[in-house]
């Protein structure tokens, strides 16, 4: 977990360098890295340009299957409603995230979308991997922009 989150943090730093909110993600199946991405909403003018969405798209493309049941997504910030919904639609096996998002987090903070029985989700999630480092990167970026 630590190693994959370190790779997600590299992606988050790339996002910050590009003026994007510093969120990075890595999608893996077993030991195979399928995709690495960072936020690109500003660069692409795309509201769905979140790191998680990009990883899910690339992983599905590489596998030739939209079902990502045996994959794990590592992301530096707790997924928002859009990304948590995409994880469910992709039937993602697990999401591991660093910092909680008390404003928009949908894997336990504001809401627990993957555990909503109405949605029949099967995505497990684990919170807090390298959380302090993930949060510090985000906080430093936001402070510098104010």
Catalytic residues: 52
8 A C-beta contact, residue 20 and residue 10: no
Buried b (16+ CB within 10 A) or exposed e, 77-99: bbbbebbbbbbbebbbbbbbbbb
What sign does the dihedral 72-73-77-81 (CA atoms) show?
Answer: negative
Tokens of 41: 């909403």
């Amino acid at each position: 977990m630590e190693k994959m989150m370190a790779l997600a943090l590299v992606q988050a730093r790339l996002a910050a360098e590009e003026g994007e909110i510093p969120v990075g993600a890595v999608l893996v199946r077993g030991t195979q890295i399928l995709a690495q991405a960072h936020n690109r909403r500003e660069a692409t003018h795309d509201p769905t340009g979140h790191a998680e969405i990009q990883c899910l798209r690339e992983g599905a493309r590489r596998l030739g299957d939209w079902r990502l049941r045996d994959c794990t997504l590592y992301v530096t910030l707790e997924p928002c409603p859009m990304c948590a919904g995409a994880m469910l639609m992709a039937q993602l096996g697990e999401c591991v995230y660093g910092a909680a998002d008390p404003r928009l987090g949908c894997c336990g903070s504001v809401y627990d979308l993957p555990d909503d029985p109405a949605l029949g989700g099967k995505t497990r999630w684990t919170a807090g991997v390298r959380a302090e480092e993930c949060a510090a990167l985000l906080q430093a970026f936001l402070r510098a922009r104010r």
